[in-house]
Structure 1
Amino acid sequence: MTEEIPLLGGDVTEGVVRVGETVRRPLGDHSPLVHTVLRHLEVVGFDGAPRLLGIDEQGREILTFVDGEVAGRPWPEWVADEERACSVARLARRLDDVMLPLGLPDGAEPVDTQGPGPVPTFVGHRDFTPENTVFRDGQAVAVIDFDLAGPVSRVQEVSNLLLWWGAWMPVPDREPVMQEVDAADRGRAVVRAYGLDATETAQVVPVARYLAERSWRRMRDRARRDGGGWARMWDEGVGDKIRRRQAWLAENAEDLADALRS
């Protein structure tokens, strides 16, 4: 029997292992949508995501293992590199471009029409963390872990990128390698690399502020409902961290918006 090697670093999903050149992951309520997305990406020939191979005898999904460099905790110094961040933005743009034709398939959560900015029209990854991004030769080549995939607009997808790759949070709450990053300058670089137009760019800051508020509510509700890793993160203070991010975004909104416009 091929050895199962635990793949660590995820905040919520437990029991993820590597078996040879495959990855085995537990199924969940999110799995039908994730499988729809991965099958679509295979059909259109997108090379920046794992392939779904089926379900194993233990009821786990089987995915291809994507070889490359992935960040662990604490984040390595290269996460702070601007060109790396821009390469993630370009990868996200390629992914979103090929996801647009799929639209919002059955199984996608209801579209949130309450916030500012464009209404979501396609399924985005929504979790482009350094732990979920695979690099080769200093460039982002693939994204893994589609468990949080759901309806987004381009502006919302970029707002998620800025949280992780733009240092859009208070300095004390950042990983050590990101504490010297200028959030305004990095935000401008990431937005330009993704390729938002002027109208979309003007919506980034208000959308980021709205998503922070929505994130607090969702994290609280999932901690109460689902327990597990969600409850652990909530107990460790993620709700307070999100509240601090809300305050930081409000305080720096004008400077961030000016940087994106410049």
Structure 2
Amino acid sequence: MGTGGGVGWEGIRFVGMVATLLHEIPLQGGDVTDGVVRVGDTVRRPASTSTPAVHALLRHLEAVGFEGAPRVVGMDGLGREILTFIPGTTGLRVESVTDGALSGVALLLREYHDATIGFPLTPDGWEGGSNDDRMPEVVGHCDLTPENVVFSRPGRPHAMIDFDLARPTTRLFDVATTLRHWAPIADPVDRHPLLRNLDVGARLRLFCDAYGLLPRDRRRLLELARTRFHRSYTVMRTRATAGGTWARMWAGGAGERIRRAAAWLDVHEDELYAHLV
């Protein structure tokens, strides 16, 4: 506070922070990041060690004209990152599980991958996690769940959000990660009701066709999906020991779901592979 009965800079800053907090709208959805809120036309997110790398990526996407990602505004007085808010709907709905919506997600992912070309693929600064053994080709989103895809109108995905788990990887690894949720490559008992009775093999092929995945990558897709299951299990188990959101996810059965998905893939691999080749 200032002297002489007036309100100094610290007081003004405090009042401004309180006003901001009063207008915050918590944003639900996703599994990893707590404390994400909307303030007007912006989103405020807790900063992490990967925030500088993510901001550099988002600025690169803006510079090359990729429209399907939020823009970096800066940091607020509470040390949170400020991103532009992208209007639309997220999550699984009847209109977001159609063939057209699935093709749209594939096209969005391909456009994003192409837009990352030219961005440095250095391993430092990212959150880290499971990955492909091959040399990185792009910066993958690596968490393109239904909660992280924004639909501008029924059946039309137009943006992706939540780049916290982005990292250098191969195109195929990010495709496999995305199909884990959108095909989905999962035991039926763990699928969303809207996805429970769909033809997973046909959806795999549809996605790969829309993305333009090469034949050599299609032949390796299921093998890499299996590798990802085993490595994701280990990564999540390790992170859960630190507590927080990862611990809650693990306690909620994340590990068991990964194991069931891997077992389901083992049983159905031949029929899925027939759709891909």
TM-score (norm 2): 0.88
Q: Does 1:245 align with 2:261?
A: yes
Q: What's 2:90 paired with?
A: 70
Is the 8 Å Cα contact of residues 53 and 63 (structure 1) preserved in structure 2? yes
Give the number of aligned pairs: 255
Secondary structure of the 1:181 match is coil
Question: How far did residue 136 of structure 1 move?
Answer: 1.6
Q: Aligned in 2, Cα 1:109/1:229: closer, same or farther, shift over 3 Å?
A: closer
Instruction: List structure 1 segments (4+ residues) > 6 angstroms apart after TM superposition.
Output: 109-114
In structure 1, stretches of 5+ residues that fail to align are none
Task: Please state how far the C-alpha of 1:89 moved relative to its aligned partner.
Answer: 0.6
- Cα separation, 2, equivalents of 1:11 and 1:200: 29
Rg larger in structure: 2
Counterpart of 2:144 in structure 1 is: 128
| Residue 52 in structure 1 maps to residue 69 in structure 2 | no
Structure 1 residues 180, 148: closer, same or farther in 2, change over 3 A? same
Say if 2:131 and 2:169, in contact at 8 Å, map to a contact too. no
Deviation (angstroms), 1:114: 6.7
| 2:98 maps to amino acid | D
Whether 2:186 is the aligned partner of 1:166: answer no
Alignment counterpart, residue 196 of structure 1, candidates 213, 217, 220: 213
The range that moved more, 104-113 or 30-39, is: 104-113
On the 8 A contact 1:93/1:194 being kept in 2, the answer is: yes
The residue aligned with 2:47 is 27
Aligned match of 2:232: 215
Residues 139 and 70 (structure 1), Cα distance of their counterparts in 2 relative to 1, 3 Å cut: same
Corresponding residue for residue 57 of structure 2: 37
Give the conservation status (yes or no) of the 8 Å contact 2:130–2:228. no
How far is the alpha carbon of 1:45 from its aligned partner? 1.3
In structure 2, what is the Cα distance between the partners aligned to 1:67 and 1:96? 22
1:185 corresponds in structure 2 to 202
Which ranges of structure 2 fall in alignment gaps of 5 or more residues? 1-18
Contact between 1:109 and 1:151, CA under 8 Å: does it hold in 2? no
2:103 pairs with 1:86:
yes
Indicate conservation of the 8 Å contact 1:22/1:63, yes or no: yes
Q: Does 1:107 align with 2:107?
A: no
**Does the aligned pair in 2 maintain the 1:134–1:143 contact within 8 Å?**
yes
Question: Aligned partners of 1:114 and 1:122: how far apart in 2?
Answer: 12
Tell me the distance in 1 between the aligned counterparts of 2:31 and 2:85.
Answer: 19
8 Å CA contact retained: 1:41, 1:49: yes
Amino acid at match of 1:128: L
Name the CA shift for 1:31/1:110 in 2 (closer, same or farther; >3 Å). Answer: closer
- Note if 1:5 corresponds to 2:25: yes
Q: What's the RMSD between the two structures over aligned residues?
A: 1.7
Kindly indicate whether the alpha-carbon contact (under 8 Å) linking 1:111 and 1:151 is maintained by their aligned counterparts in 2: no
Q: Alpha-carbon deviation of 1:30?
A: 1.9
Quick one: which amino acid aligns to residue 107 of structure 1? G
Farther off after superposition, 125-134 or 106-115: 106-115
1:151 paired residue number: 168
Tell me the distance in 2 between the aligned counterparts of 1:76 and 1:110.
30
